[in-house]
Structure 1
Amino acid sequence: MGKPIEGRTTAAGEGEIVVFLIGMRINSFAALRSWVPVARAMGPMIRELSRDEDSGLLGHQFLLGFPRVFYLVQYWESHDKLFAYASAPDRAHRPAWAAFNRRLREGRGRVGFWHETYVVPAGAHESVYVNMPEFGLGRATGVVPVGRRGERAADRLRMK
């Protein structure tokens, strides 16, 4: 993570955004064979997406929910690009998903998995970062001084 930016900033992105949350929960720490491969599967996919400027992935952030939940926040430019990646037979996701499903069936509940997808229309999201490095959506789209998008959250939300 970079150096803090003094003052108040907001995410520069103003268009539609797709927020994809994905994670795992370790239900049995002793069951390494169940959860370690799941934990390792995300890295190659993120590297693949990050190298492909047309993938639609704007940015991501790994987060921990101690002591047993690990998750990843992803920001996408469209749900179409997210779904295209998820279903592409020649990309890393499909074999990882198939292997995960095999492990899940064999693991008898030792590891949990979840994901949530939110399609947020243009004007229906806002952010503020105070004395923070670029973070979250601001890291994915860049940041601008708050005044450029409105001093108040209500000003930055332009829902019609």
Structure 2
Amino acid sequence: MAPSRPTTTFSDLRMGEQAKLSFTRPVAVEGDTVTIHEVRHETSLGERLRTATLTLEIERSLAGDFVIQIPSDAEVTTVKLAGRGIPIRRDGEKLIVPTTPGRQQVEVTWKLVALMERVASPDAVTLPSESANVTTVLQPSYDRWLL
């Protein structure tokens, strides 16, 4: 590692002491720049339409785009970052959320035309890194029984 600034020497002529300071920049460590602390995926099942809300608690060390993959035929209705609505940016299955360094909450809501079947599962969602504390909730319509 080379010093990022020149070496500076300070001297105290009264005492005859010296202090020599060198400044260096540490080498960057390879690894993820995002941590997903919590994921909550809630899906409300209707006869012909399902609505889903994905809430993420993330922490970033660098600013950048956070890419979430959701079904390409899903109609994204809202995207919120730290509780504020932001413009929706999509590229096929990819939903792109611009994030800043630090801890923040991302909330995405979408609708998907899907007939109610006997067996239901949540929509497939792919995140850019591993996550912890994952909760999935399926809420059937009021006239359905759970078996």
Report which of the two has the higher share of strand.
Answer: 2
Greater Rg, structure 1 or structure 2? 2
Higher normalized contact order (CA 8 Å, seq sep 6+, divided by chain length)? 1
Is the TM value for this pair above 0.5?
no
Report which of the two has the higher share of helix.
Answer: 1
Return the TM-score normalized by structure 2: 0.29
